[in-house]
Amino acid sequence: MKNDREQIIRVVRKKRRAHGHHGGAWKVAFADFMTSMMALFLVLWLVTQSSEVRTAIAGYFQDPLGRAGEFGMSVIPGDGQPMLPTTPSVQVAMADGRKEKLMQLSERIRSALPDSLDFGDLQRYVEVTEVEEGLRISLLEDSSDVFFPRSAAQPLPQAVALFEAIGRVLGAVGYDILLEGHTDAAPFAGGATYDNWELSADRANAVRRAMMAGGVRNAQVIGVRGLADRTPRLADDPYAPQNRRVTVLVTVPADEPPSAGTALGVP
């Protein structure tokens, strides 16, 4: 006997769809890669910049709003510690102040050189250049006797007066100085017991004595060296007369506050 209720069987067929893409995970990975590359390029750029630029950039990231210079303390409530040991503006000002100070000192040295007819030619042989340590004053020779007679350590009278004039300026500012004597590669006559090492050292000491007579204090002199022909000015021509010179390195501290420019007589 059949059941009054017939069992109905339904077959449901689902349509299969093709798989879609796997979402946006690859975009996140690609973004991380690009960020890493940007950071690498930024680091490579920074290492080629000067110390002043790196200091200013580091200071900006430490204090982007510039509030350290305004308030002097941290802007976080309850935190009484200073925000920065030195604000970027102060660091940049110190670099600018040192640059200006070197220019002022260089101008004072040039202005101190005697301008009489007897000294007019000598001024052309005084070279003042800015270097990393401060200023380098080069007293240059040529084929004629400019500051010293050939192979002699005793300076000419007009050269002594010029050395003393430079000494008055250096004595007033009080910076440390290092004197170095240089010669060309021409040797002394055979059998001579006196050589270029002694000549270069004696000429540097002669300049030191004249500058001390002009006002340089003994405590300012941190060294006197004779280098003979080991560091020629014209390396391609070791016998060139331009290699005969005495250099005076004036060391100006890089971390000196800008206000120290008053030591140069600047109001």
CATH code given to domain 97-264: 3.30.1330.60
**Residue 47 CB partners (closer than 8 Å, separation 6+):** none
- C-alpha torsion sign, points 237, 238, 243, 247: positive
Domain boundaries along the sequence of the chain: 27-85, 97-264
According to the model, what pLDDT value does residue 254 have? 77
From first to last of the 267 residues of the chain, give the pLDDT tens digit. 555 556 677 766 666 665 555 567 788 888 888 998 888 888 888 778 776 677 777 777 776 666 554 444 444 444 444 444 444 444 454 566 778 888 899 999 988 887 654 555 778 899 999 999 999 999 999 888 899 999 999 999 989 999 999 999 999 999 999 999 999 999 988 778 899 999 999 999 999 999 999 999 999 999 999 999 999 999 999 999 999 999 999 999 876 654 433 344 433
> Beta-carbon neighbour count of residue 267 at 10 Å?
4
